[in-house]
Amino acid sequence: MVRNFFILLVLLSNLMLAQNKLNLIPYPQKVQLLEGEFVIPEIFVLSGDLPKEETEYFKKRIGSQLKFQYTQKGGEIHLTNSIIPPASGTDAEQKKEYYLIEISPKQIHIKSYTKQGYFLALQTLIQIIEQYKEEKKIPAMKIEDQPKFAWRGMHLDVCRHFFTVDEVKQYIDYLAMYKLNTFHWHLTDDQGWRIEIKKYPKLTQIGSKRKESMIGAYVDNTFDGKPYGPYFYTQEQIKDVVKYANERHITVVPEIEMPGHALAALSAYPELACTQGPFESATKWGVFDDVFCPKDETFTFLENVLDEVMKLFPSQYIHIGGDECPKTRWKECAHCQELIRKNNLKDEHGLQSYFIKRIEKYINSKGRKIIGWDEILEGGLAPNAAVMSWTGVNGGIEAAKAKHFAVMTPGAYCYFDHYQGDPQSEPNAFGGFTPLDKVYSYSPIPAELNAEQAQYILGVQANLWTEYILDFKQVQYMIFPRLMALSEVGWGTSDPKNYKDFEDRVISHFKILDKMNVNYAKSIYNISGKVIPSNNGIAYELSTSQNPNGIRYTLDGTVPTINSKTYQTSVSIPNSLTVKSAYFEDGRLKSAISSQQFTVSKSTGKKITLEQQPSENYSFGGAFTLVDGIIGNVKQLGKTWLGFQGKDVVATIDFGQKTDFSEIYFNTLENKGSWIHLAKSAKIFVSDDNKDFKIIMEIGKEDIQNAKGKIQLKLDKQNARYLKIMIENAGIIPSGNPGADSKAWLFVDEIGVN
pLDDT at residue 734 greater than cutoff 90: no
The pLDDT, as a whole number, for residue 94 is 76
Q: How far apart are CA 84 and CA 108, in angstroms?
A: 17
Q: How far apart are CA 212 and CA 501, in angstroms?
A: 46
Q: How far apart are CA 159 and CA 441, in angstroms?
A: 30
Evaluate if pTM is beyond 0.85.
yes
Least confident of 60-74, 403-417, 454-468: 60-74
pLDDT at residue 248 greater than cutoff 90: yes
Using a pLDDT cut of 70, give the percent of the chain over it. Answer: 96
Which among 196, 255, 257, 324 is annotated as catalytic? 324
Least confident of 184-188, 290-294, 520-524: 520-524
Mean pLDDT score across all residues of the chain: 92
More confident residue, 639 or 608: 608
Residue 265 burial class via C-beta count within 10 angstroms: exposed 0-12, middle 13-18, buried 19 and up? buried
The pLDDT, as a whole number, for residue 519 is 97
The pLDDT, as a whole number, for residue 5 is 44
pLDDT at residue 407 greater than cutoff 60: yes
Instruction: Return all residues near 42 (Cβ < 8 A) that are at least 6 apart.
Output: 67
The pLDDT, as a whole number, for residue 65 is 72
- Say which CATH topology domain 151-507 has: TIM Barrel (3.20.20)
Torsion of CA 385, 388, 390, 392, to 10 degrees: 70
More confident residue, 605 or 425: 605
The pLDDT, as a whole number, for residue 218 is 73
Least confident of 38-47, 244-253, 300-309: 38-47
The pLDDT, as a whole number, for residue 318 is 98
pLDDT at residue 89 greater than cutoff 90: no
Q: Is 247 marked active-site?
A: no
3-state class of 680 per DSSP?
A: coil
Which among 261, 349, 404, 677 is annotated as catalytic? 261
Q: How far apart are CA 500 and CA 503, in angstroms?
A: 5
pLDDT, tens digit (0-9, with 9 covering 90-100), for 24-48? 999 999 999 999 999 999 899 999 8
pLDDT at residue 244 greater than cutoff 90: yes
The pLDDT, as a whole number, for residue 7 is 47
Instruction: Give the largest Cα separation in the chain, rounded.
Output: 95
The pLDDT, as a whole number, for residue 211 is 98
Helix axis angle, 482-491 to 499-515, nearest 10°: 120
The pLDDT, as a whole number, for residue 20 is 64
Least confident of 300-314, 358-372, 634-648: 634-648
pLDDT, tens digit (0-9, with 9 covering 90-100), for 533-592? 998 899 999 988 888 889 999 999 999 999 999 999 999 999 999 999 999 988 899 888
The pLDDT, as a whole number, for residue 659 is 96
pLDDT at residue 348 greater than cutoff 50: yes
Cis peptide bond upstream of 230, omega within 30: yes
pLDDT at residue 16 greater than cutoff 70: no
Is residue 616 within 8 A of residue 588, CB to CB? The reply is: no
The pLDDT, as a whole number, for residue 87 is 61
Is residue 466 within 8 A of residue 509, CB to CB? The reply is: no
| Three-state DSSP string of 473-501 | HHHHHHHCCHHHHHHHHHHCCCCHHHHHH
First-to-last C-alpha distance (Å) of the chain: 73
Is residue 193 within 8 A of residue 204, CB to CB? The reply is: yes
Q: Which CATH superfamily is domain 607-753 in?
A: Galactose-binding domain-like (2.60.120.260)
Q: What is the mean pLDDT of residues 609-622?
A: 90
Q: How far apart are CA 326 and CA 348, in angstroms?
A: 9
pLDDT, tens digit (0-9, with 9 covering 90-100), for 670-704? 888 778 999 999 999 999 999 999 999 999 999 99
Residue 620: pLDDT band with limits 50, 70, 90: confident
The pLDDT, as a whole number, for residue 1 is 44
Q: What is the mean pLDDT of residues 351-369?
A: 96
pLDDT, tens digit (0-9, with 9 covering 90-100), for 324-343? 898 989 999 999 999 999 99
More confident residue, 669 or 217: 669
The pLDDT, as a whole number, for residue 91 is 66
pLDDT, tens digit (0-9, with 9 covering 90-100), for 128-179? 999 999 999 999 999 999 999 999 999 999 999 999 999 999 999 999 999 9
Q: Is 324 marked active-site?
A: yes
The pLDDT, as a whole number, for residue 90 is 62
Is residue 408 within 8 A of residue 389, CB to CB? The reply is: yes
Residue 314 burial class via C-beta count within 10 angstroms: exposed 0-12, middle 13-18, buried 19 and up? exposed
Q: Is 332 marked active-site?
A: no
Q: What is the mean pLDDT of residues 476-484?
A: 98
More confident residue, 422 or 386: 386
Least confident of 69-78, 129-138, 379-388, 456-465: 69-78
Q: How far apart are CA 32 and CA 130, in angstroms?
A: 19
The CATH label, of 3.30.379.10, 3.40.50.300, 3.90.1150.10, 3.10.580.10, for the domain at 12-145 is 3.30.379.10
Amino acid at 459: G
Residue 617: pLDDT band with limits 50, 70, 90: confident
